Amino acid sequence: MKKGYFITGTDTNVGKTWATIALMHYLKQQGKTVVGMKPVASGCVLHQGQLHNDDALLIQRYSSIPIEYALINPYAYAPAVSPHIAGHHHPVDLDTLVAGFNHLQALSDIVLVEGAGGWYAPINSTEDISDLAKRLGLPVIIVVAIRLGCINHAKLTYHAVLQSGLACAGWIAMCTDATMLNREENIDTIKTILDAPLLGVLPYLENADFNLFAERFKSAALC
């Protein structure tokens, strides 16, 4: 039985990595061995002859056990563009990613898989993030950036997840705009629209405080 969650977002740069690591903190506090995976990443930099992504390095750092980088981020591309463009000469293969996930699952209680971009972000010439999520078959957690347009983006992403045949385990409100007007009202509106639990509201911070973020999941119904 697969144990884990697929973390998607309402767009690019919505705080998926911070939310993923906050969930890792929370689940570790529940006594779980947790590892993370960022299968596809663009905007990577060369380090000792290997391309590395900052977000994937954070996930590696906060995993419960030491995991080699190539398992966490099998497809690392230098250009900061959509993966299907960045990986034109080395496209993503879903079988490779599924095998990597299965390896991580054998090492841990829970694997958190962070997608790239939004739900339909293309990862090769014919497949997108939703295809990867469907192959893994994990419950999906949606990270909603609380900013102008968030209600529409949350509703679109939620219905897209359901149309893919996957369960939505819940959503996270990531406060990304320090000057957002009526923030609480927007969150309350999304709560009434989505038939999925609000797992936590992560406050706006200039620098991440993952212990503080983890406290916001205290009432979350996560395994």
Given this model, what pLDDT does residue 48 score? 82
Given this model, what pLDDT does residue 140 score? 98
Distance (Å, whole) CA 51 – CA 53:
7
For residue 193, the Cα-to-chain-centroid distance in whole angstroms is 21
Given this model, what pLDDT does residue 222 score? 72
pLDDT > 90 fraction of the chain, expressed in percent and rounded? 92
Checking if the pLDDT of 220 tops 70, the result is: no
Given this model, what pLDDT does residue 221 score? 65
Given this model, what pLDDT does residue 2 score? 67
Given this model, what pLDDT does residue 79 score? 93
| Interval 180-214: pLDDT, tens | 999 999 999 999 999 999 999 999 999 999 999 99
Query: pLDDT tier at 49 (50, 70, 90 boundaries)?
Result: confident
Query: pLDDT tier at 219 (50, 70, 90 boundaries)?
Result: low
Exposed e or buried b per residue across 202-223, where buried means at least 16 C-beta atoms within 10 angstroms of its C-beta = beeeeeeebeebbebbeebebe
| Interval 57-92: pLDDT, tens | 999 999 999 999 999 999 999 999 999 999 999 999
Check: CB of residue 43 under 8 Å from CB of residue 178: no
Task: Tell me whether residue 169 is exposed, middle or buried, using C-beta atoms within 10 angstroms of its C-beta: 0 to 12, 13 to 18, 19 or more.
Answer: buried
3 is an active site residue: no
Which of these is catalytic: 2, 3, 16, 38? 38
Query: What's the length of the chain?
Result: 223
Given this model, what pLDDT does residue 128 score? 97
Check: CB of residue 114 under 8 Å from CB of residue 107: no
Sheet with 168-174, side-by-side order of all strands? 34-37, 110-118, 4-9, 140-145, 168-174, 198-202
Strands 4-9 and 34-37: unpaired
Checking if the pLDDT of 1 tops 70, the result is: no
Checking if the pLDDT of 223 tops 90, the result is: no
The fold of the 4-40+92-215 domain, in CATH, is Rossmann fold (3.40.50)
Query: pLDDT tier at 102 (50, 70, 90 boundaries)?
Result: very high
Given this model, what pLDDT does residue 38 score? 98
**Mean pLDDT estimate for the chain:** 95
Q: Which two tokens stand for residue 69?
A: 């980088």
Distance (Å, whole) CA 79 – CA 112:
25
Query: pLDDT tier at 47 (50, 70, 90 boundaries)?
Result: confident
| Interval 13-41: pLDDT, tens | 999 999 999 999 999 999 999 999 999 99
